[in-house]
Amino acid sequence: MLQLRNAGLDYGNTHISFPDLTLEPGQRLGLFGPSGLGKSSLAKVLAGIEPLSQGELTLPGFAQGSANPVQWVIQQSEFAFNPRLSIRQSLRESWRNDDFMGVLDRYGVDPLWLNRRPLQVSGGQLQRVNLVRAIIPSTEYLICDEITAHLDMITQQQIWLALGEEAGQRRLGLLVISHDEELLNLVCDDVLNWTG
């Protein structure tokens, strides 16, 4: 399980104190909280992108040097891709020797898009590709940071359905960060209301 205890982060003069949090394999935990409180910072800490200034992040079984089992997916999927590479090349980079063709259908990714560059598909299409990029075999926990905030209802439903199936089959732990309380109640088992 992924655990955060007594944790805090300093950005110069800005200090963020995080809530204690435990994410179990197979759990779908929602995180709700006001803008600017530090939800994306929390996501970055969990994904190992920002080091903690205090407290503890524990992830038993994760050996230094092995693939990070925590993947962070953000709303602005275009930032997750090198704009010069084709989508196929980007997926190849993250999947390495494993085959991703079998998971395209689950996320509604058309194989024809593989030859295009990231900015040659729509925002909703790229977000689905982005999930395929993140759902590599070594992923055990997925931090979904407002991943469907800008998408139409049908694409949102496709994405949450696909992720729900994936999480159930692989016992993926999902941390779903959103301003949409209704969505969190729909897709999560528990919701942490972080008030600061």
Ligand X SMILES: Nc1ncnc2c1ncn2[C@@H]1O[C@H](COP(=O)(O)OP(=O)(O)OP(=O)(O)O)[C@@H](O)[C@H]1O
For ligand X, the binding residues in 12-31 under the rule CB under 6 A are 14, 16
Give the residue with the Cβ less far from ligand X, 11 or 79. 11
Show Cβ contacts of residue 188 under 8 Å, excluding neighbours closer than 6 positions: 28, 29, 30, 174, 176
Give the residue with the Cβ less far from ligand X, 35 or 66. 35
Q: How many residues bind ligand X (CB under 6 A)?
A: 10
H or E element in which residue 48 lies:
none
8/108 Cα distance (integer angstroms):
38
Phi first, then psi, for residue 5 (nearest 5°) are -135, 130
Among candidates 188, 190, 174, 159, which has minimal Cα distance to 25?
A: 174
160/174 Cα distance (integer angstroms):
11
Q: How many CA atoms are closer than 13 Å to the CA of 152, on its beta-carbon side?
A: 6
Give the residue with the Cβ less far from ligand X, 31 or 159. 31
8 with 56: CB under 8 angstroms?
no
For ligand X, the binding residues in 37-96 under the rule CB under 6 A are 37-41
Give the residue with the Cβ less far from ligand X, 103 or 187. 187
Written as one letter, the residue type at 34 is: P
CB of residue 20 vs ligand X: minimum separation in angstroms? 17
Q: Which residue has the tokens 């990029």?
A: 133
CB of residue 11 vs ligand X: minimum separation in angstroms? 3
For ligand X, the binding residues in 150-179 under the rule CB under 6 A are none
In the beta sheet, which residues pair with residue 145? 74, 177
Selected from 5, 11, 110, 120, the binder of ligand X by CB under 6 A is 11
CB of residue 60 vs ligand X: minimum separation in angstroms? 26
By the rule CB under 6 A, 36 interacts with ligand X = yes
CB of residue 44 vs ligand X: minimum separation in angstroms? 8
By the rule CB under 6 A, 192 interacts with ligand X = no
What does the binding site for ligand X look like in residue numbers (CB under 6 A)? 11, 14, 16, 35-41
